[in-house]
A = this chain, B = another copy of it.
Protein backbone atom coordinates (compact mmCIF):
# COMPACT_ATOMS: atom_id res chain seq x y z
CA UNK A 1 0.00 0.00 0.00
CA UNK A 2 2.66 2.48 1.00
CA UNK A 3 5.18 1.21 -1.51
CA UNK A 4 6.41 3.61 -4.14
CA UNK A 5 4.17 3.94 -7.13
CA UNK A 6 5.94 4.55 -10.41
CA UNK A 7 3.95 6.83 -12.60
CA UNK A 8 4.26 7.63 -16.28
CA UNK A 9 2.91 10.72 -18.01
CA UNK A 10 1.88 10.85 -21.64
CA UNK A 11 0.80 14.38 -22.38
CA UNK A 12 1.71 16.60 -25.28
CA UNK A 13 1.41 19.94 -23.53
CA UNK A 14 4.70 20.39 -21.76
CA UNK A 15 3.46 22.89 -19.25
CA UNK A 16 0.63 20.69 -18.22
CA UNK A 17 2.90 17.70 -18.04
CA UNK A 18 5.42 19.47 -15.86
CA UNK A 19 2.71 20.92 -13.73
CA UNK A 20 1.29 17.49 -13.19
CA UNK A 21 4.72 16.14 -12.37
CA UNK A 22 5.16 18.89 -9.81
CA UNK A 23 1.85 18.10 -8.20
CA UNK A 24 2.59 14.41 -8.12
CA UNK A 25 5.99 15.04 -6.55
CA UNK A 26 4.29 16.40 -3.47
CA UNK A 27 3.02 12.94 -2.66
CA UNK A 28 5.81 10.87 -1.23
CA UNK A 29 4.41 7.57 -2.39
CA UNK A 30 4.41 8.64 -6.03
CA UNK A 31 7.39 8.93 -8.32
CA UNK A 32 7.18 10.00 -11.92
CA UNK A 33 9.65 7.87 -13.82
CA UNK A 34 8.39 8.18 -17.35
CA UNK A 35 7.31 11.03 -19.58
CA UNK A 36 6.29 11.30 -23.17
CA UNK A 37 4.91 14.10 -25.24
CA UNK A 38 3.31 11.90 -27.83
CA UNK A 39 1.59 8.56 -28.01
CA UNK A 40 3.30 6.77 -30.84
CA UNK A 41 6.73 6.75 -29.20
CA UNK A 42 5.51 5.40 -25.89
CA UNK A 43 6.01 1.75 -26.71
CA UNK A 44 9.62 2.02 -27.86
CA UNK A 45 10.44 4.35 -25.00
CA UNK A 46 9.07 1.78 -22.59
CA UNK A 47 11.05 -0.99 -24.25
CA UNK A 48 14.30 0.89 -23.65
CA UNK A 49 13.31 1.97 -20.20
CA UNK A 50 14.88 0.24 -17.21
CA UNK A 51 11.88 0.78 -14.96
CA UNK A 52 8.28 0.40 -16.00
CA UNK A 53 5.61 2.66 -14.56
CA UNK A 54 2.88 1.04 -12.53
CA UNK A 55 0.36 3.62 -13.56
CA UNK A 56 0.32 5.62 -16.76
CA UNK A 57 -1.57 8.88 -17.03
CA UNK A 58 -2.45 9.29 -20.67
CA UNK A 59 -3.91 12.36 -22.29
CA UNK A 60 -6.87 11.60 -24.47
CA UNK A 61 -5.93 13.99 -27.27
CA UNK A 62 -2.40 13.39 -28.40
CA UNK A 63 -0.87 14.48 -31.69
CA UNK A 64 -1.18 11.98 -34.53
CA UNK A 65 1.80 10.22 -36.07
CA UNK A 66 1.54 11.61 -39.56
CA UNK A 67 -1.68 10.25 -40.98
CA UNK A 68 -2.02 7.81 -38.15
CA UNK A 69 -4.20 8.85 -35.26
CA UNK A 70 -2.47 8.06 -31.99
CA UNK A 71 -4.37 9.46 -29.04
CA UNK A 72 -5.18 8.13 -25.63
CA UNK A 73 -7.32 5.42 -27.10
CA UNK A 74 -4.58 4.04 -29.32
CA UNK A 75 -2.07 4.27 -26.50
CA UNK A 76 -4.45 2.39 -24.26
CA UNK A 77 -4.91 -0.40 -26.73
CA UNK A 78 -1.18 -0.64 -27.41
CA UNK A 79 -0.25 -0.60 -23.74
CA UNK A 80 -2.81 -3.21 -22.85
CA UNK A 81 -1.39 -5.44 -25.52
CA UNK A 82 2.32 -5.02 -24.89
CA UNK A 83 2.42 -3.98 -21.24
CA UNK A 84 -0.68 -5.48 -19.68
CA UNK A 85 0.63 -4.84 -16.17
CA UNK A 86 0.68 -1.10 -16.59
CA UNK A 87 -2.52 0.47 -15.36
CA UNK A 88 -3.92 3.33 -17.34
CA UNK A 89 -5.69 6.51 -16.37
CA UNK A 90 -7.03 8.63 -19.17
CA UNK A 91 -6.86 12.41 -18.80
CA UNK A 92 -9.34 14.38 -20.77
CA UNK A 93 -10.35 18.01 -21.01
CA UNK A 94 -13.99 17.11 -20.89
CA UNK A 95 -16.24 14.17 -20.61
CA UNK A 96 -16.87 12.67 -23.95
CA UNK A 97 -19.54 10.28 -22.92
CA UNK A 98 -19.33 7.93 -25.83
CA UNK A 99 -15.60 7.82 -25.66
CA UNK A 100 -15.32 7.00 -22.00
CA UNK A 101 -17.29 3.87 -22.51
CA UNK A 102 -15.02 2.79 -25.32
CA UNK A 103 -11.90 3.58 -23.35
CA UNK A 104 -12.98 1.53 -20.40
CA UNK A 105 -13.76 -1.31 -22.68
CA UNK A 106 -10.40 -0.96 -24.38
CA UNK A 107 -8.81 -1.49 -21.03
CA UNK A 108 -8.34 1.88 -19.37
CA UNK A 109 -8.58 1.66 -15.61
CA UNK A 110 -9.51 5.21 -14.80
CA UNK A 111 -10.67 8.45 -16.25
CA UNK A 112 -9.94 11.94 -14.99
CA UNK A 113 -11.14 15.25 -16.26
CA UNK A 114 -8.45 17.89 -16.30
CA UNK A 115 -10.28 20.25 -14.02
CA UNK A 116 -10.29 17.80 -11.14
CA UNK A 117 -8.36 18.72 -8.02
CA UNK A 118 -4.94 17.26 -7.23
CA UNK A 119 -6.36 15.10 -4.49
CA UNK A 120 -8.41 13.32 -7.06
CA UNK A 121 -5.36 12.51 -9.10
CA UNK A 122 -3.68 11.04 -6.08
CA UNK A 123 -6.77 9.04 -5.27
CA UNK A 124 -7.04 7.87 -8.81
CA UNK A 125 -3.43 6.75 -8.97
CA UNK A 126 -3.64 5.04 -5.64
CA UNK A 127 -6.91 3.37 -6.47
CA UNK A 128 -5.80 2.22 -9.84
CA UNK A 129 -2.48 0.98 -8.50
CA UNK A 130 -3.92 -0.87 -5.56
CA UNK A 131 -7.04 -2.24 -6.90
CA UNK A 132 -8.50 -1.53 -10.17
CA UNK A 133 -10.25 1.53 -11.32
CA UNK A 134 -11.14 5.10 -10.70
CA UNK A 135 -14.11 6.83 -12.16
CA UNK A 136 -15.59 10.01 -10.84
CA UNK A 137 -19.23 10.26 -10.17
CA UNK A 138 -20.12 12.44 -13.14
CA UNK A 139 -18.21 10.14 -15.41
CA UNK A 140 -20.00 7.21 -13.92
CA UNK A 141 -23.30 8.86 -14.74
CA UNK A 142 -22.09 9.34 -18.26
CA UNK A 143 -21.24 5.70 -18.49
CA UNK A 144 -24.56 4.71 -17.09
CA UNK A 145 -26.27 6.69 -19.76
CA UNK A 146 -24.12 5.71 -22.66
CA UNK A 147 -22.30 2.51 -22.18
CA UNK A 148 -23.51 -0.94 -22.77
CA UNK A 149 -24.35 -1.10 -26.37
CA UNK A 150 -21.75 1.06 -28.05
CA UNK A 151 -18.88 -1.16 -28.93
CA UNK A 152 -19.96 -3.79 -31.31
CA UNK A 153 -19.21 -7.19 -29.93
CA UNK A 154 -19.64 -10.18 -32.10
CA UNK A 155 -23.08 -11.45 -31.38
CA UNK A 156 -23.16 -14.98 -30.14
CA UNK A 157 -26.30 -16.98 -29.91
CA UNK A 158 -27.53 -19.33 -27.25
CA UNK A 159 -25.90 -22.27 -28.93
CA UNK A 160 -22.73 -20.27 -29.45
CA UNK A 161 -23.65 -19.83 -33.07
CA UNK A 162 -22.99 -16.61 -34.88
CA UNK A 163 -25.42 -14.62 -36.93
CA UNK A 164 -24.43 -14.12 -40.52
CA UNK A 165 -24.07 -10.68 -42.05
CA UNK A 166 -27.32 -11.04 -43.85
CA UNK A 167 -29.10 -12.23 -40.77
CA UNK A 168 -27.88 -9.25 -38.79
CA UNK A 169 -28.97 -6.99 -41.62
CA UNK A 170 -32.43 -8.44 -41.61
CA UNK A 171 -32.58 -8.36 -37.84
CA UNK A 172 -31.87 -4.65 -37.95
CA UNK A 173 -34.71 -4.10 -40.37
CA UNK A 174 -37.03 -6.22 -38.26
CA UNK A 175 -36.20 -3.92 -35.37
CA UNK A 176 -37.20 -1.01 -37.55
CA UNK A 177 -40.67 -2.47 -37.65
CA UNK A 178 -40.49 -3.45 -41.28
CA UNK A 179 -42.53 -6.38 -42.48
CA UNK A 180 -41.04 -9.31 -44.34
CA UNK A 181 -42.30 -7.84 -47.58
CA UNK A 182 -40.81 -4.43 -46.89
CA UNK A 183 -37.50 -5.97 -46.00
CA UNK A 184 -37.53 -7.97 -49.23
CA UNK A 185 -38.17 -4.79 -51.21
CA UNK A 186 -35.41 -2.94 -49.47
CA UNK A 187 -32.86 -5.69 -50.02
CA UNK A 188 -34.06 -6.59 -53.52
CA UNK A 189 -34.60 -10.20 -52.60
CA UNK A 190 -37.60 -12.46 -52.41
CA UNK A 191 -39.85 -12.34 -49.39
CA UNK A 192 -39.25 -16.07 -49.18
CA UNK A 193 -35.60 -15.46 -48.60
CA UNK A 194 -36.31 -12.94 -45.93
CA UNK A 195 -38.65 -15.44 -44.42
CA UNK A 196 -35.91 -18.01 -44.35
CA UNK A 197 -33.56 -15.63 -42.63
CA UNK A 198 -36.22 -14.73 -40.10
CA UNK A 199 -36.70 -18.36 -39.28
CA UNK A 200 -32.98 -18.83 -38.88
CA UNK A 201 -32.92 -15.82 -36.59
CA UNK A 202 -35.69 -17.20 -34.41
CA UNK A 203 -33.93 -20.53 -34.31
CA UNK A 204 -30.47 -19.16 -33.60
CA UNK A 205 -31.54 -16.64 -31.01
CA UNK A 206 -33.94 -19.00 -29.34
CA UNK A 207 -36.79 -16.58 -29.76
CA UNK A 208 -40.44 -17.23 -30.43
CA UNK A 209 -41.32 -13.97 -32.08
CA UNK A 210 -40.11 -10.48 -32.95
CA UNK A 211 -40.15 -9.40 -29.32
CA UNK A 212 -37.43 -11.91 -28.66
CA UNK A 213 -35.55 -10.86 -31.77
CA UNK A 214 -35.59 -7.19 -30.84
CA UNK A 215 -34.38 -7.84 -27.33
CA UNK A 216 -31.67 -10.09 -28.64
CA UNK A 217 -30.62 -7.43 -31.13
CA UNK A 218 -30.39 -4.80 -28.44
CA UNK A 219 -28.57 -7.02 -26.00
CA UNK A 220 -26.06 -7.98 -28.64
CA UNK A 221 -25.53 -4.49 -29.98
CA UNK A 222 -26.88 -5.33 -33.38
CA UNK A 223 -29.10 -2.31 -33.11
CA UNK A 224 -28.68 0.71 -30.91
CA UNK A 225 -31.62 2.32 -29.30
Number of copies: 2
A84 close to B (CB within 8 Å): no
In the complex, A133 Cα to B105 Cα: how many Å? 19
Which chain B residues border A123 with CB–CB below 8 Å? 123, 126-127, 130-131
Indicate if the CB atoms of B109 and A137 lie closer than 8 Å. Answer: yes
Report the Cα distance A70→B123, complex, angstroms.
Answer: 32
A139→B105 CA distance, assembly (Å): 13
Q: Is A154 engaged at the interface, CB distance under 8 Å to the other chain? A: no
> Is A118 within 8 A of B211, CB to CB?
no
Contact A120 B116 (CB under 8 A): no
Give A87-143 interface residues, CB cut-off 8 Å to B.
101, 104-105, 109, 116-120, 122-124, 126-127, 130-138, 140, 143
Tell yes or no: A77 within 8 A of B by CB: no
Please tell me if the beta carbons of B177 and A209 are within 8 angstroms of each other in the complex: yes
* Total number of A residues with any Cβ neighbor in B under 8 Å: 48
Which residues of chain A from 174 to 225 have a CB within 8 Å of any chain B CB? 174-177, 179, 207-215, 218-219, 225
Q: Please pick, from B109, B176, B225, the residue contacting A219 in the complex, using a CB distance under 8 A.
A: B225
Question: Which of A14-22, A46-54, A144-152 contacts the other chain?
Answer: A144-152
Instruction: Please report which residues of chain A, range 33-67, place their CB below 8 angstroms from some CB of chain B when the two chains form the complex.
Output: none
Q: Complex: how many Å from CA A178 to CA B133?
A: 41
User: Which residue of B is nearest A2, CB measured?
Assistant: B119
Q: Which of A101, A105, A148, A212 has the most CB of B within 10 A?
A: A148
Given contacts A130-B123, A131-B137, contact A176 B211 (CB under 8 A): yes
A113–chain B nearest beta-carbon distance, Å: 10
Q: In this assembly, does A1 line the interface, its C-beta being within 8 Å of a C-beta of chain B?
A: yes
Are A133 and B144 in contact, with the CB atoms below 8 A?
no
The chain B residue sitting closest to A127, CB to CB, is B123
